Amino acid sequence: MNPLRSLVDYERFVYTLPQQFPLLQRSTLTVIRRGANVARLTGEIELANGYRLIVREKLSFAGASGLIKDYGYEVWCGSEKLYWYDSQPHPDNPLLAGTYPHHKHLPPDIKRHRIPAPALSFIKPNLPFLIQEIEQLPKP
């Protein structure tokens, strides 16, 4: 079942993430309803391996199923931002065409160094992939 089927399902999905991912130590994720069919997801997840995920999503449930309209996900270790994903379009970058607009920002020039992000989507939750990716990072 896709948790984006309804706003209620997505809320349930978000608030039960700690039961699904044992390394998730703390979550401040909050679904903020902005109307009957619109919401924002904001907050932070801390994992036992020392990493944090900062989450921002704009959600719409106006159609048959929900959509992530916009997102930003930042991965931190202590005070260092390691990388981030966002859905800001970069139509002039042919390297990103295959996963447009989904991409990942990486060092060394983190603002301009972008690679395709094929695992991210507007039609299914991105949080499971992101948490699993962070769980695989080496202990700091």
H/E stretch holding 38:
strand 38-47
- What phi and psi, each to the nearest 5 degrees, are found at residue 42? -140, 155
- Residue 38 and residue 46 in contact, taking contact as beta carbons nearer than 8 Å: no
Cis before 101 (ω within 30): yes
Predicted confidence (pLDDT) at residue 1 exceeds the cutoff of 90: no
pLDDT above 80: residue 65: yes
Q: Is the pLDDT of residue 28 over 90?
A: yes
Q: Which residues pair with 110 in a beta bridge?
A: none
pTM for the full predicted model: 0.95
- pLDDT tens-digit series, residues 84-131: 999 999 888 998 999 999 999 999 999 999 999 999 999 999 999 999
Distance CA 91, CA 44 (A): 29
